[in-house]
Amino acid sequence: MSSTATQITPEVVAEHGLSPEEYDRVLKAIGREPNLTELGIFSVMWSEHCSYKSSKIHLMKLPTKGPQVICGPGENAGVVDIGDGQAAIFKMESHNHPSYIEPYQGAATGVGGILRDVFTMGARPVANMNALRFGRPDHPKMKHLIAGVVHGIGGYGNCVGVPTVGGEVNFHPAYDGNILVNAMTVGVADTDKIFYSAASGVGNPIVYVGSKTGRDGIHGATMASADFGEDSEEKRPTVQVGDPFTEKLLIEACLELMASDAIVAIQDMGAAGLTSSSVEMASKGGVGLHLKMDDVPQRETGMTAYEMMLSESQERMLMVLKPGREAFAEGIFRKWELDFAVIGHVTDTGRMVLEHKGEIVCDIPLAPLADDAPLYDRPSMPKDAYKLWAKVEPLGETPESADIGADLVTLMGSPDIASRRWIWEQYDHMVGADTVQRPGGDAAVVRVHGSNKGIAISTDCTPRYCYADPYEGGKQAIAECYRNLSAVGSTPLAVTNCLNFANPQRPEIMAQLTGCLEGMGDACRALDFPIVSGNVSLYNESKATGGGSAILPTPAIGGIGLLADIDIMATVAFKDEGDAIWLIGGEGAHLGQSIWLREVAGREAGDAPPVDLAAERAHADMVRALVAEGTVNAVHDISDGGLLVTIAEMALAGGKGATLDAPLTTAAAFGEDQARYIVTAPAGADIPGATKIGTVGGDSVAGVALTTLRTAHEGFFPALMNNEL
């Protein structure tokens, strides 16, 4: 496929995901008809996945600054100060479309990509998290998808030697034809050794390192910017293939080179591969570049410039080096058995020039590719119209539970609450020996190596709330993450996100996106919890399931907090017989959109629970103070399933039951009112502003034996994966 031979027809333009109007913009930008290579470069850079053309104007409204923020959105990852001359560098990204097509490699390369985003900034990765969404457990494809995704995440993370310390999993029919795989990585770097991506220095060498380029992943970014048709299986060639062992070598080689003064700029090759990395580096630096495609390391014969520029082969980086440092850098990468090649240089032209086999195969201005990509303010349904469209039934009267204990057993074994042990046991969550709070609690905690500081990490989102009320759902996603970080005793620092929505060209979907973002923004401002990085994944819907089903709006939130001393940290497990159980935040009353309503009453109805941000802040402050003082010995925030599920989880974690002081109504037992926590403290301790509701002890909760609860809680995933459901 030559760069010039193929005629650019409307059909070719459409195959590249560009609208006729966008193609007209390409013609104006370059002043002539593009060749195929140039068209391909515009198509991936202007894809939804790379340009954020439907969301950017709304993302700009989010709060991104704070005294702790060293670098906000716009770089490979966000950077926050954690004291002592150190920074935490973190981000979350999606690999949804590839993971549905080829679950193992899709999930694995999602982990590889987010690891590169973090270590490209000079950080050593210390922890991975994930946020997963699957369809109905009994859907014929779902077991295959779950097994592939979980093994892909575990396989890559375990091999590369970074612990996977937690995450979240939800199930809903809306994800039958489009599962979500969001991966998050946290790393630690010295604040004076952070690397950025802006290229500079005319004449400086541009260097390619890592693995050779193949034909895998071509059009991956374009594929991820469209919904699934009935031919989703045919898109398997667009999925990249990862090699975690090479990634480990790449991490070590990059960090070794970063310890020197050789690097001017560095960028990983993620979506859109060599195209996006080179364009982003040059445009951020306001420079041009000249690349010789013959010098790109290739693992397949006869590759065209088009293929090399659009390949998404994994485990690759692009760097600008200081002049004269090429041999030094090459020595490091050869030592680690990685490819190293000088493939071009920085120019002052502001253009991307590609040379292949003695011919100029691309010569286009860089500014339109990055800075002048289309931006759309898509029509958005008004809130009242959205409510009508969403067809969320009013809650109405809900009968009292006939058997609170039986309902508790049902909930503890239900897909969204059941133990995730089967999943996290596939992950090496202890590699590196710095994991101090394992999966299963409110937040994971990882020690900052060589210190007693800890980084708390949580991923959160409740899509059913976001569907029923995007604004309150967006608020709640931030608030729950804030609660989880506070529950272990950490000070919440900042947020990354992965905004998963369906087709933005539908006004009802834009209503979900803008509503969620508005709620997230208000929550972040109220809680001093800025958003420093993130990713947008749109067109998450599928005709493959027969109805054009859109996913639930899923703005997944990844948050980190700082523990000054990991010895002063709370966990969810009940500690001692006779400890008093206290409720912070008042009795539950809200059953709308609750797990109880769905799993027991068989309804998805009512409003999402309202989020009082002042109460969230006040109660979180209170909890952190109680942990710091040593007043409480167990903490768990109340979320899915309400108060009684929270207490049951604490009881199972500690192997001790609970006696409650008074019978519970259905709403008090299972209501999902926000800004609430359960804490325990030794008998005789007083907790002003909290209500004592019971005592730790015995071998049951709400009259149900712990053994019965444990069987229900631990049974779902093994039964599902063993074909016993």
In residues, how long is the chain? 725
Question: Is 356 a residue of the active site?
Answer: no
514, containing H or E segment:
helix 507-527
Tell me 504's DSSP state: T
The one-letter amino acid code at 584 reads I
Structure token pair of residue 656: 């001790």
Q: What is the DSSP string of 197-242?
A: ----STTPEEEEEESPB-STTTTHHHHTTS-B-TTGGGGGGGS---
* CA atoms of 330 and 336, how far apart (whole Å): 10
321, containing H or E segment:
strand 316-321
Structure token pair of residue 485: 């970080």
Q: Give strand pairing partners of 339.
A: 210
How would you label 405-426 residue by residue, b for 16+ Cβ within 10 Å and e otherwise?
bebbbbbbbbbbbbbbebbbeb
Structure token pair of residue 229: 């048709």
* CA atoms of 171 and 464, how far apart (whole Å): 10
What's the burial of 223, exposed, middle or buried (CB within 10 Å: 0-12/13-18/19+)? buried
Q: What is the DSSP string of 339-393?
A: EEEEEEEEESSSEEEEEETTEEEEEEESHHHHTT----------HHHHHHHHTPB
Question: Is 49 a residue of the active site?
Answer: yes
> At a CB cut-off of 8 Å and minimum separation 6, what does 74 contact?
none
695, containing H or E segment:
strand 690-696
Q: Are the C-beta atoms of 376 and 54 separated by less than 8 Å?
A: yes
Q: What angle do CA 479, 483, 485 make, to 5 degrees?
A: 120
* CA atoms of 18 and 46, how far apart (whole Å): 8
Distances (CA, A) of 248 to 153, 338, 658: 15, 11, 46
Exactly one of 16, 58, 95, 619 is catalytic; name it.
Answer: 95
Tell me 632's DSSP state: -
Distances (CA, A) of 87 to 378, 593, 595: 37, 39, 38
* CA atoms of 81 and 87, how far apart (whole Å): 5
Backbone angles phi, psi at 339, to 5 degrees: -70, 145
* CA atoms of 297 and 461, how far apart (whole Å): 41
What's the burial of 234, exposed, middle or buried (CB within 10 Å: 0-12/13-18/19+)? exposed
Exactly one of 16, 49, 58, 590 is catalytic; name it.
Answer: 49
The one-letter amino acid code at 367 reads A
Q: Kindly provide the residue ranges of all beta strands, DSSP E only, lying in 519-579, ordered along the sequence.
A: 531-537, 541-542, 549-550, 554-563
Which amino acids are annotated catalytic? 49, 95
